[in-house]
């Protein structure tokens, strides 16, 4: 007879190049404590897997394959954009989760995601106690937007920041080489609905040895068309070219997104897509400069081949810490990264209560943005540089990175009743 219970792990929202490193940290650490964790089940396609009783048996995966998750991008168990509504609005969903947890002897819940996921975790923790089936709930931070509060940084961001900084620098060199007779302005659109952290990373492309003229459009700064065009014109006249990094969340003074399409996603957020062509056409029509534009889109968040080692290490550490916190009896919390110093960059694991994390967004501090609203300050540079530091290349074969595909074998259903999403 054993007191060991099962754990449930799920991945939520947009994926990253390092979310699987957190999964690796959870599963590898749990396997070290068989008297506590009988098994770790994963939700197929995130929380949907729990609602539909579509659980994955991670014990069927070898230690080697679980270890390979640390170097594999995307969500190995599948993710989803599915927001659970409030307890009062849809109690049935939460009761269903507890029903599945109870049927499969699940006493530990690890949810790897952003602010909405933290809110879900907090509600499940509260409801499980009311239903007399207490579940220890730990939220593992993940978001490329870097907009969760309290933690110094969110896993996924450092690698996206590295990709954007490198891509901006390399594309700028390309434009410079052709500027005399061809393209003079390059526009790259990056993610960041409300917070401009990713766009800010584009500013790292320029430094004392790379005098690249870069204009950044942040969500935190109202878009001033006249000032923006004047800045572009000034840079092109001075340098013959200019690069623009525009956040998908850049807004007009009336609050409307430059890229807004008029539709909404599953979380109720405005569906964005197209800030780069809007800006590029504006430049062409007003200034007459030839341009090229690109959207980093999935490329920025899936680029495991150029991931930040700092990011990988922190993603794994937070997965491990989540298990350690369960062992310590913690509940309804999120492990965090606490910065101890900038140079050398040192950090440690901290923790935050979910009530202080759920549905709270961390924006770029104004002191990180230059007075004209188009660049990053030295304070921002000091914050960002350690986060993109180091390389953690996957192994390569025949010129291509080697990633793992898990078996993802299903756990036999016990409840067996259908649940309509």
Q: Which residues are catalytic?
A: 145
The whole-angstrom separation of Cα 174 and Cα 204 is 17
Kindly state the tokens that stand for 114.
């952003």
Tell me which residue of 298, 322, 305, 316 sits closest to 72, measured CA to CA. 305
371-407 in b/e burial notation, b at 16+ Cβ within 10 A? eebbbbbeebeebbbbbbebebebeeeeeeeebbebe
Q: Which two tokens stand for residue 401?
A: 């990175």
SS (H, E, C) 236-259: HHHHCCEEEEEECCCECCCCCECC
CA distance 179 to 363: 35
Q: How big is the chain by its Cα radius of gyration, in Å?
A: 23
Cite the beta strand spans of 93-205 per DSSP E.
Answer: 106-113, 136-141, 185-190
Distance CA 321, CA 155 (A): 13
For helices 19-30 and 309-327, the axis angle rounded to 10 degrees is 40
| CA 366 centroid distance within chain | 22
Judge contact between 243 and 237, C-beta under 8 A: no
- Cα 111 from Cα 307, distance rounded (Å): 22
Pair of tokens at residue 79? 């993710």
Which of 134, 99, 104 has its CA nearest to residue 39? 104
**Strand stretches in 191-332, DSSP E:** 214-217, 242-247, 260-264, 270-272, 291-295
């Amino acid at each position: 007879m054993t007191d060991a219970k099962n754990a449930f792990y799920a991945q939520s929202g947009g994926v990253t190049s390092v979310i699987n490193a957190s999964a690796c940290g959870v599963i590898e650490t749990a396997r070290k404590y068989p008297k506590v964790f009988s098994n770790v089940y994963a939700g197929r396609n995130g929380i949907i897997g729990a609602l539909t009783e579509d659980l994955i048996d991670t014990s069927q995966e070898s230690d080697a394959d679980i270890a390979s998750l640390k170097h594999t991008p995307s969500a190995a168990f599948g993710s989803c954009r599915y927001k659970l509504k409030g307890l009062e609005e849809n109690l049935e969903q939460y009761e269903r989760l507890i029903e599945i947890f109870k049927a499969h002897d699940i006493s530990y819940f690890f949810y790897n995601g952003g602010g909405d996921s933290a809110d879900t975790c907090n509600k499940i923790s509260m409801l499980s106690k009311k239903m007399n089936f207490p579940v220890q709930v730990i939220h593992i931070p993940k978001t490329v937007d870097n907009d969760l509060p309290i933690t110094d940084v969110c896993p996924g961001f450092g690698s996206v920041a590295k990709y954007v900084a490198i891509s901006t620098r390399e594309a700028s060199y390309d434009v410079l080489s052709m500027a005399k007779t061809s393209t003079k302005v390059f526009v790259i659109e990056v993610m960041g609905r409300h917070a401009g952290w990713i766009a800010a990373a584009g500013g790292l492309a320029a430094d004392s040895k790379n005098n690249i003229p870069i204009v950044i459009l942040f969500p935190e700064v109202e878009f001033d068309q006249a000032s923006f065009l004047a800045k572009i014109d000034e840079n092109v006249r001075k340098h013959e070219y200019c690069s623009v990094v525009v956040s998908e969340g850049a807004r007009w003074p009336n609050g409307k997104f430059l890229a807004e399409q008029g539709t909404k996603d599953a979380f109720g957020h405005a569906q964005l897509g197209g800030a780069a062509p809007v800006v590029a056409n504006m430049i062409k029509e007003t200034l007459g400069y030839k341009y090229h534009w690109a959207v980093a889109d999935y490329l920025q968040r899936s680029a495991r081949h150029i991931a930040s080692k700092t990011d990988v290490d922190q993603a794994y550490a937070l997965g491990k810490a989540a298990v350690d916190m369960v062992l310590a009896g913690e509940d309804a919390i999120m492990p965090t990264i606490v910065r101890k110093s900038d140079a050398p960059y040192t950090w440690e694991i901290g923790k935050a209560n979910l009530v202080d994390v759920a549905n709270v967004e961390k924006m770029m501090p104004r002191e990180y943005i230059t007075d004209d609203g188009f660049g990053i300050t030295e304070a921002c540079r000091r914050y960002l540089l350690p986060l993109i530091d180091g390389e953690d290349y996957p192994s390569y074969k025949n010129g291509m990175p080697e990633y793992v595909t898990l078996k993802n074998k299903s756990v036999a259903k016990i409840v067996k009743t259908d649940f309509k999403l």
